[in-house]
Amino acid sequence: MNEGRNVWALNGLTGGLIATGLLLSILAFLSASAMSVQHANAENYYKLVNEKSIKMFSTDNAKHFVDAK
């Protein structure tokens, strides 16, 4: 039963290193994409229109925010 064991098999150290590398690459990709989205929207300013008519619970509140560009 123990003849098939190997440290360098995919279920051993190599598999752990592959899984760790895959998780770190996914983390790097998601972090880079989050930073690019933040950079793209960092100077996207909004202007509030008709602020007196905004209700507390209304789905129409999104219409009061317009791009200032």
pLDDT tens, position by position, 13-58: 888 899 999 999 999 999 999 999 999 888 878 888 887 887 888 7
pTM above 0.85, yes or no: no
Among residues 62, 42, 41, 40, the alpha carbon closest in space to that of 50 is found at 62
Question: Can you tell me the distance from the alpha carbon of 63 to that of 20, in angstroms, rounded to the nearest whole number?
Answer: 45
End-to-end CA, the chain: 70
Show me where the domains of the chain are located: 2-67
Question: Can you tell me the distance from the alpha carbon of 18 to that of 51, in angstroms, rounded to the nearest whole number?
Answer: 54
